[in-house]
Amino acid sequence: MRMNRWVLLTAVIGGLLATGCKTDNIFYKRPPIEEMFAEVTPGMSQSEVFKILGAPTFIQASEMFYIYDDPPKPVRLRIVLDDKGVVLEKFYEPKADLARKYELKQGQPPTVKPLEGEEGRTYPGGPLPRFEKAPKEP
């Protein structure tokens, strides 16, 4: 009976040490995000960025996003690529700033202007109303 208590106590303490609360522990060490971001420079290829930062959280068109939620101040890294996969720009965006910008933008009209000849569409490039011809169509 006494042995079971020691085993249980050891398991509980080991579990607490292994999980840790936003601290480095035995099984997990936070990546040095700022140092890795500093290594990425404009002119690098996409494969070189993969070697430094790893696979991105998601890719959208010509942008790669890396999201890190584990540091004390969560951050999003945005890498802008050209059509050949070469880094044009990089952005270090704290998630608190992104949330603040999003809240400020709520309720404002969209900044996208319709393309010439598409004023009736709900958004640029959107479908035309039924039975209407596309611009510059006979």
One-letter amino acid for residue 92 of the chain: Y
Q: How far apart are alpha carbons 78 and 66 in whole angstroms?
A: 7
pLDDT one-digit tens code per residue, 107-119 = 777 676 766 776 6
Q: How far apart are alpha carbons 127 and 138 in whole angstroms?
A: 18
pTM over 0.85: no
User: Tokens 């999201």 — which residue?
Assistant: 67
Catalogue all structural domains in the chain, each as residue range(s) with its CATH number.
31-105 (3.30.1450.10)
Lowest mean pLDDT among 75-84, 86-95, 112-121: 112-121
pLDDT one-digit tens code per residue, 18-69 = 665 555 556 667 788 889 999 999 999 999 999 999 889 889 888 999 998 8
* Residue whose C-alpha is closest to residue 112's, from 120, 123, 103: 123
Containing 80, the helix (H) or strand (E) segment is strand 75-81
The first and second tokens of residue 1, run together, are: 């009976």
